[in-house]
Structure 1
Amino acid sequence: MTEQSNRRLAAVMFTDILGYTGMVQEDEQLALRTMATHERLIKEYVQAYHGRVIKFYGDGSLSMYESAVDAVRSAIEIQKRLRQAKVPVRIGIHLGDVVLRGQDIFGNGVNIASRIEQQGIAGSILISDRVQQQLTNQKDLRTKYLGWFKLKNVKIRVPIYAVDATGILLPPKPNLFKRWQQTQKWPYYAGLLILGLSAVALVQQGKLKSLLHGDLDDVFRERKEVIAVPVFENFTGIDSLDFIAKMASHWITKGLSDIGELPVVSYESVEDERPVNMASLSSLQNFGRSTGAVNLVMGSFSRRGRDSLEFSTFVKKASTGEVVSLDVPNIYVSMNNPLPGIHAILNHLRGYWASRNLHLSSVPSYGAYRSFIAAKAAWNKDRDRAEEYLLLSIQQDSSFFDSYDLLATHYTNEGRYVEAKEALETLKRSINGLSDRQKLKVQLREARIFGDNVDAFRYSLEEYAENPQDLFANTAAMVFALESVNEPEQCLEIFDRISLDSLDFGSCSYCNERVHLGLLAHLRLDDVEEAKEIATYFPARLPSRKYFVGLIRLAARESDTLLVNQIIQRAKIQLEDKTSHRYLYYLAAECFQLLNNEEFVHVYAQKTIDAYEHRPDRTVARAYYLLGKYERSIQFFDVLIAQNPEHIANIGQRAIIQARLGNLKDAERAILTMEGLRAEFQFGDVPYQQARVYLSMGKTDQALLKLEQAIQEGCRFYYWLFENDPDLMTLFRNPRFQEIVHPSR
């Protein structure tokens, strides 16, 4: 028989006695009795559940079953009996392809099962997601999701579950947010996060309970009935009424989200998807896979008479297209104000899913809601226009939360922090009785505005935990993980909750951002191969210069100057601003400086100067600095500072050069000058630049103190700061520096 004919799908189970080697050394007779008990119970219960013992190997065993369900039931009986006999064993099971050769089995399925078993503890049973899927209809077989694991010699991360049965131990779950457990390591940042309160006091207040205890079941509640409300279908034939389709999706999503235990895909994620064809099963399934939704609220509206609309709504299972037994009557409304009808649909749906009375914000005026939907539509195309619509919406209804919230977000993104602060203050004065979800949003916005980065990340995690597969909340949590608290591993754990293969890059405005963040996170972890794999998901055309940043860093890490040049030429062709690509030459020079490759530093610094045609620009001044042409660099900075005497980064960089030239008094004066330029909403810019100057003067302790201060004032971990700043390279191996740049630990 050929190997192909001996290939089959099978459930593979590994067992392993923990501590067996030490047991042999301490009590050989006990070790032998333990091994004999292990072998006896394996043989008995593998056979009882129609399995086959492939082999025993010292302190472990390998077995195979035709049924994953039988494998799990067998493992439960084995583990219970072994625990009664005080034999410390861990068990791992995977469903995959195996190759039978003689009396043995081989293949990737065997390797994965072995690696899964190694993640467990004595008394536990761990299974792969493929096995877990086979247990869906086995009501008595419960599991707990542990997370995505990078297994040795397995190319992709694997989701792992623990069997949750009486007598079976659950391993300590790999806490995505370990830093919340490490309160003893917060000597410098206690004030930043808890404002003088102890972590214990916060737990008592319930503010960090689920995260501090590291219980993923608190953080990721069971999500078996995730709901999404796709944009409604407009059957009127009147394109100008398309906004009503979005309005219906947004309002119903908003209302269902107020049901505390009900997981609902955010409107932002739904809006990002291609329209769903309610008659196409593949369209429903694709939408379900990409959003994580199980139930889809499908709706449409048609014209009835001259000025009326008829809404039709039902709920379908995304996986099967089956219509859920839910009686939502058709609703007839005026074409001039359909919002009361949409609200009536919401109430029917809410009554189906909710078991108690719930607070729901009052329905805004139709004009305010229409302006808000127009702002959402303009958001990614014309932010000025979006701002006009939001201000109009607030003018039309001063109690409409969503318009204030989006306006504050807009101001924050634009760096207009005073206006963002005022928008939130007006919101709190104008609206009474905010829901818990609304309060969380306000807390997140305020933390971001005031530079409370650890708190901002914590609030983003709370939103994310409501539905980890929500594209909008998931991507936002990635941003905060990487840029607010510099935790690339946690960024990637969040990233792995949504497969890139499930996303439609043709319609997804967040997809490029996810690839960008994932790429940068892997590079921060020096995982170049994974970064290269993620980079392949970038589309052929990239809309923004920032997406080229990760590609340049990756190409530089490989010392591939040909690829660096190709990326820059691609940016030159694709970017609307035909001059913005020039900065990428300088970025390449900095990347090579971080790699101590002086040859390529000089090549790309000179290319920068040539691209800018020697004009007085901060980038050109920095390029001269990289070339070691300090006097020329100072000349450029003098021009720039004369044009803007309050530009802190230019003052700081000029001071660094003066320090390198030995002019320490000039550097000291610059530090004092920067101190006098302090202002609100600078987010640690002054102490960060002062730290760079102190380090260039050889004052390491003062530099570290200033970096610590910069973090406390809200400095974020952008791709050009801290561990990406060549002027801080002498600190990279400093233990205190490593503590400072991970503020949430």
Structure 2
Amino acid sequence: MRVGIAITMLMLVGYIMYDLGFLSPDTELKHEKIAVRFMDFANVTGKEKLADMASHWISNRLEEIPESQVVKYSDANTDPNIQIATAGSNQRRKFAQQTGAANLLEGQIFRESDSLVFDAKIIDLADGSIRQKFGPIKCAIVNPMAGINEITGEIRGWWASRDLKFISVPKYEAYKSYLAARDVWLDDMDLAEQHLRKAIASDPTFIDPYFLLLGHLQNEDRYAERDALLIEIAINFKDMNARQINLLEVASADVAGDLRRTYKKFLNELDIAPEDLFINTEAMVMATYFVNDPLKAIDYFQLIPVDSLNLDNCGYCTTRLRTAVFAYLELDSVGRASELIQYIDEDEYLNIYRKIQVYTASGDTTALRKLIEKALVNEINRSASLWTVVAWQYILSGNDEGLEMALEMAQSERINHSTYTKAEVSYLLGGYSGIEHTIDEWLRDFPTNRYILSYGARVTAQIGNEDKIAHIMYLLDTADEEDVYDYGYYTYYKGVIEAIQGNDVKALDWLELAYSRGHQFSHLYYHNDIDLMPLFDNPRFQKLIHPMSQ
């Protein structure tokens, strides 16, 4: 059942986050409190107050570290003749209670001929274990501050970075394969995957190819493999740095279908490398399709000049341009979208679709006709189907004249119509009863087909037969239960059915649930869905389509 599997998935994510020591989203790291004590037993150095000077200087330097908590110098140096580190658990406990410290930096100074020697160690006051040793540092006896300053640098550097995990250098072959995968990304994904798996095999401790492979499996809808890889990362990489932990949190949020959290966590990655083409483009995609924030997508897009992109050999660059064009259209910046569309070839359906959006928005029917004629000649897509795309866009914009032209072209006798295209044209013409029998046959023969279920939901709702609506709702429920990774798809169409029926409250209940389960924004959904147009001005709907304003 869907509910049981959903709980299992959330438990999986919870296990990963707990096992890696994740904090809750609202928790901030608080540095453990430290006390500093240096000793110069019996004044063997002959330098008066030297130990006090060292304790005071080091305490002050540690306090300069952001969020560092240091015990007041005078409070830490009570009982100066007792060496806390070796005085036993009772003494450590007493000192911890008096000072509130969890750690103690205890050092000593002694003399060797005409030199001074400094050494120190940080101990955990709870169990007496040594966390880190420093020194020995030697300096001329005539210049003790040189020794104090040198050991202070060691201590301060370690204390400031103790929560950081430093990345080890990967093996040469692994790194070469990883870069090779990036070079062919989106141009040849089979080859990219081969390179990534070779990188992992060459050096299983190199985490970067794991994350790139994780994204690839997600994009390919290979969810079971993605989840297995996510668990493998959690098990094999126990000592990740903050950036790697954040990337795993991004992946975990994505698995859970939490679009807002996925985007918000990914912004940490963008902050680190805003001009990295991979990272920046991913942020654009998330801003557009995860949280419907086209303005942010354009902000990210403008960080990397278009003329710096290698559009001939960079599939990722084409994705970037397509996303930017869509974002500009969402912002009603048709002029800028028209400028960018010139960079995109007409060699695949997604590019053609984006050009259709631009030409319908700009009213360029001549360019539309040429585009669809060329697509028909190149057999990229059925011409009639492309004209139904045009019609959909004209319905959204309220262009009745353009809609009439598009539907006339879609019905043209010279076009080879499939049954699917005829059904689409009939639906856009409002001829629901004329395709009712066809829909009934499809639902009987292919009750789990995604396209048929979604299209059947629209037609059935428009016809209004209560028994058939109940049946399509049942089919959507069944598909939802059987498809572990539907991410709100079937829930969305329950919302569409209710919207067509005029049940706004129920429609919004389903649509909000669909988004919470991971159903993304696109050129067909939510505020771009012709059957949800009666909801467009509803305050709840506006809140739904602007999730970052919540």
- TM-score relative to the length of structure 1: 0.49
Indicate the larger mover: 561-570 or 608-617: 608-617
Q: Structure 1 CA distance, aligned partners of 2:304 and 2:174?
A: 34
Q: Distance in 2 between matches of 1:202 and 1:420?
A: 23
Distance in 2, matches of 1:524 and 1:498, equals 20
**Aligned to 1:676, what secondary structure does the other structure show?**
helix
Shift of 1:206: 6.5
Aligned 8 A contact 2:495 2:510 in 1: yes
Q: Kindly state the Cα deviation for residue 600 of structure 1 after the two structures are TM-superposed.
A: 3.4
One-letter identity of the residue aligned with 2:477: E
Distance, in Å, in 1 between the alignment partners of 2:248 and 2:197 is 18
| Cα separation, partners in 2 of 1:665 and 1:387, compared to 1, 3 Å | same
Q: Contact between 1:649 and 1:689, CA under 8 Å: does it hold in 2?
A: no
Task: Give 1:726 deviation, angstroms.
Answer: 0.6
Matching of residues 642-721 of structure 1 within 5 Å: 642-678=444-480, 679-721=483-525
Q: Indicate the structure whose relative CO is greater, using CA pairs within 8 Å and at least 6 residues apart.
A: 2
1:138-217 matched pairs, under 5 angstroms: 202-205=25-28
1: CA distance between counterparts of 2:325 and 2:176?
Answer: 38
Calculate the aligned-residue CA RMSD, in Å: 3.0
On the 8 A contact 1:582/1:608 being kept in 2, the answer is yes
SS at match of 1:205: coil
Q: Match for residue 430 of structure 2? A: 628
Structure 2 partner of 1:400: 206
Q: Is the 8 A contact 1:690 1:703 kept in 2?
A: yes
Structure 1 gap segments, 5+ residues each: 1-200, 208-354
Query: Relative to structure 1, is the Cα distance of residues 668 and 603 closer, same or farther in structure 2, using a 3 angstrom cutoff?
Result: farther
Give the aligned partner of residue 458 of structure 1.
264
The yes-or-no answer on 1:591 pairing with 2:393 is yes
Question: 1:722: Cα distance to partner?
Answer: 0.9
Match of residue 281 from structure 2 = 475
Q: Give the superposition deviation at 1:527.
A: 2.7
* CA deviation profile, 1:199-232 (whole Å, cap 9, x unmatched): xx8555369xxxxxxxxxxxxxxxxxxxxxxxxx
Amino acid at match of 2:489: D
Name the CA distance, whole Å, in 2 between partners of 1:674 and 1:728: 18
Q: Does residue 495 of structure 1 match 2:297?
A: no
Q: 2:284 matched to 1:484?
A: no
Aligned residue runs from structure 1 range 354-369, under 5 A: 359-369=165-175
Residue pair 1:485, 1:717 contacting (<8 A) in 2 also: yes
Where does residue 222 of structure 2 map in the other structure? 416
CA distance in 2, matches of 1:579, 1:533: 24
1: CA distance between counterparts of 2:179 and 2:383?
A: 34
- Within 1, Cα distance between the matches of 2:294 and 2:332? 11
State the Cα deviation string for residues 594-650 of structure 1 (Å, max 9, x = none): 123344334434544668733233x44222211222234334434443443112452
Cα deviation, residue 414, structure 1: 0.3
Whether contact under 8 Å (1:588, 1:604) holds in the other structure is: yes
Q: In the alignment, is residue 614 of structure 1 matched against residue 420 of structure 2?
A: no
The amino acid across from 1:590 in the alignment is W
In the superposition, relative to structure 1, how do residues 564 and 389 fare at CA in structure 2: closer, same or farther (>3 Å)? Answer: same
Q: Would the alpha carbon gap of residues 397 and 689 (structure 1) be closer, same or farther in structure 2, given more than 3 Å must change?
A: same
1:529 aligned partner, one-letter code: G
Q: Which has the higher strand share?
A: 1
Q: Does 1:425 align with 2:425?
A: no
Match of 1:434 among 237, 240, 255: 240
- Cα deviation code 1:77-135 (max 9, x no counterpart): xxxxxxxxxxxxxxxxxxxxxxxxxxxxxxxxxxxxxxxxxxxxxxxxxxxxxxxxxxx
Q: 1:442 to 1:569 in 2, by over 3 A?
A: farther
Measured in 2, the distance between the counterparts of 1:530 and 1:375 equals: 32
Aligned partners of 1:498 and 1:377: how far apart in 2?
18
Cα offset, 1:702, TM superposition? 0.4
2:538 is matched with 734
Distance 1:366 1:498, change over 3 A: closer
* Structure-to-structure mapping, 1:26-105, within 5 angstroms: none
CA contact under 8 A between 2:360 and 2:394: conserved in structure 1?
Answer: yes
Are 2:254 and 1:448 aligned? Answer: yes
Partner of 1:84: none
Task: Report the Cα offset of residue 464 of structure 1.
Answer: 1.2
SS at match of 1:461: helix
Looking at structure 2, the residues matched to 636 and 431 of structure 1 have their Cα atoms a distance apart, in angstroms, of 54
Q: Look up the SS of the partner of 1:718 in the other structure.
A: coil
Structure with more helix by fraction: 2
Residue equivalent to 1:547: 351
The aligned residue for residue 579 of structure 1 is: 381
- For residues 254 and 274 of structure 2, the distance between their equivalents in structure 1, rounded to whole angstroms, comes to 21
- Distance in 1, matches of 2:511 and 2:415, equals 32
Q: 1:634 to 1:428 in 2, by over 3 A?
A: same
> Is residue 535 from structure 1 mapped to residue 338 from structure 2 by the alignment?
no
Q: How many residues align?
A: 394
Structure 2 partner of 1:561:
365
Cα pair 1:451 1:713 within 8 Å, conserved: yes
Q: Which residue identity is paired with 1:433?
A: D
Give how far 1:455 is off. Answer: 1.1
> Which 10-residue stretch deviates more, 670-679 or 368-377?
368-377
Task: Give the whole-Å Cα distance in 2 for the aligned partners of 1:612 and 1:655.
Answer: 27
Amino acid at match of 1:734: N
Q: Does structure 2 retain, via aligned residues, the 8 Å contact 1:648–1:689?
A: no
Cα pair 1:503 1:511 within 8 Å, conserved: yes
Select which of 388, 391, 408 maps to 2:197: 391
> Given residue 431 of structure 1, which amino acid in structure 2 is its aligned partner?
F
* Displacement after TM superposition at 1:544 (Å): 3.1
Q: Please tell me whether the aligned partners of residues 488 and 517 of structure 2 are also in contact (alpha carbons under 8 angstroms).
A: yes
Task: Output one character per residue of 1:527-585: Cα deviation in whole Å (capped at 9) or x when no partner.
Answer: 3233334334x24x344322222321121123332221122234456x7x633666432
- The answer for the alignment partner of 2:402 in structure 1 is 600
Q: Does the 8 A contact of 1:708 with 1:740 survive in 2? A: yes
Residues 361 and 466 from structure 1, CA distance in 2 versus in 1: closer, same or farther, beyond 3 angstroms? Answer: closer
TM-score of the superposition, structure 2-length normalised? 0.65
Mapped partners of 1:581, 1:431: distance in 2:
51
Q: Cα deviation per residue 1:379-413 (whole Å; 9 max; x = unaligned)?
A: 33332233334334434443331232222111101
Cα distance in 1 between the residues matched to 2:328 and 2:225:
36
Give a deviation string over 1:352-383, Cα, whole Å, max 9, x none: xxx97974434445554454444444433332
Matches of 1:364 and 1:725, distance apart in 2: 48
Code of the residue aligned with 2:349 in structure 1: it is: R
